Amino acid sequence: MNRRWEPWLLVGPGLALYAVFGFLPILWAGVGSVYETGFYGRGWLGFQAFVDVFSNARFWTSLWVTVKFTAVLLPIGMFLTVAISVILSWAGSKLQSLARLAFFVPTVTSAMMISLAWRWIVLPGGPLSRLIGGDILWIASNPYAFWTICVMVVSISIGGSLLYMMAAFLSVDQEIYEAARLDGCNRIQEAWYVTVPAVMPVIVFLGVGRLSGLLQIWQFPYSMTGGGPNYSTTTIMLLIYQEGIGAGRLPQASVMSLFLMVMVVGLVLLYRLISKRKILL
């Protein structure tokens, strides 16, 4: 067999999966934004769906909510991931294993189960209300609903990143730490001047993945508040679901999907560019 085909045989299954589950949906969204199919479809729409979306106040509200979620959750999540990893790097191996397990379990648990548990905690008359001695509408009033979802997402989303970060921390050459101690560095200085710069490529990688995920967040607002109150937790991804699946307005949902794709790709590329320059500096 010609060995030139070996690389293509190896990457072929991955390319096929990407074509079916990645490229084709994008292509279908492009077609669906200007052409309405189905039994009640109107056929060629032109740019009417674009006009409907960009003139809809709910779309711009959902964009602002998505930006707020990302602006709050990205720095907090990355800071906690790095800070917890630094603290655990000072602990023993048994404590590290227990901590990794404790943080990782919520990551692999069903989002619906976690949401049901959180709803039970924060609903009036629940454990949180009894703890603080009063009833607050945590998921039915502003701004409590937004911040309740933020706390929930942070508490369950750092487990996967923590595994990567801990692995990166443990891979740093110990001789570098010995040299830092000889220079008089304490543990905090070692973490700031040695560990964090050494694992910066991993931090950038995790930041890119987290940024992409936060821009597409929808399941927790959907299961906790349904996008309310007054659309204050309706993200673009949740609005796409509501418009496409709930209301059957597939052309409008396709337009929002394309907009979200462009926004995610653009912000991820910008984030990588800025982070790469900081690493080089």
- Tell me the per-residue pLDDT of 37-87, one tens digit each, with 9 for 90 and over: 765 667 787 888 899 999 999 999 999 999 999 999 999 999 999 888 888
**What mean pLDDT do residues 157-167 have?**
84
- Does 3 map to a domain? no
- Does 35 map to a domain? yes
Position 40 scores a pLDDT of 61
Q: Is the pLDDT of residue 252 over 70?
A: yes
DSSP per residue over 153-181, as a string?
A: HHHHHHHHHHHHHHHHHHTS-HHHHHHHH
Position 147 scores a pLDDT of 93
- Does 20 map to a domain? no
Report how far residue 50's alpha carbon sits from residue 56's, in angstroms, rounded to the nearest whole number.
10
pLDDT band at 183 (very low <50, low <70, confident <90, very high): confident
Backbone angles phi, psi at 217, to 5 degrees: -70, 135
Report the domain count for the chain. Answer: 1
- Does 4 map to a domain? no
**What mean pLDDT do residues 223-233 have?**
89
The fraction of the chain above a pLDDT of 90, given in percent, is: 22
The fraction of the chain above a pLDDT of 70, given in percent, is: 95
**Cβ contacts of residue 200 below 8 Å, gap of 6+?**
278, 279
Higher confidence at residue 1 or residue 198? 198
**What mean pLDDT do residues 90-98 have?**
81
DSSP per residue over 232-257, as a string?
A: TT--HHHHHHIIIIIS--HHHHHHHH
**What mean pLDDT do residues 90-109 have?**
81
Position 278 scores a pLDDT of 55
Q: Is the pLDDT of residue 279 over 70?
A: no
* Average pLDDT of the chain, as a whole number: 85
Position 11 scores a pLDDT of 84
Whole domain around residue 122: which residue ranges? 25-280
19, with CB counted inside 10 A (0-12, 13-18, 19+), is exposed
**SS3 state at 216:** coil
**What mean pLDDT do residues 255-271 have?**
88
Report how far residue 196's alpha carbon sits from residue 212's, in angstroms, rounded to the nearest whole number.
22
DSSP per residue over 21-48, as a string?
A: IIIHHHHHHHHHTTEE-STT--EE-TTH
- Does 10 map to a domain? no
Strand partners, 35: 44
- Tell me the per-residue pLDDT of 196-224, one tens digit each, with 9 for 90 and over: 888 888 888 888 888 888 999 998 899 89
Q: What is the 3 state secondary structure string of 61-80?
A: HHHHHHHHHHHHHHHHHHHH
Full-model pTM = 0.85
Report how far residue 16's alpha carbon sits from residue 276's, in angstroms, rounded to the nearest whole number.
31
- Does 252 map to a domain? yes
- Does 243 map to a domain? yes
Position 267 scores a pLDDT of 84
**CB of 156 closer than 8 Å to CB of 106:** yes
Position 67 scores a pLDDT of 94
- Does 227 map to a domain? yes
C-alpha 257, offset from chain centre: 16
CATH of the domain at 231: 1.10.3720.10
Q: DSSP character for 226? A: T
Position 281 scores a pLDDT of 44
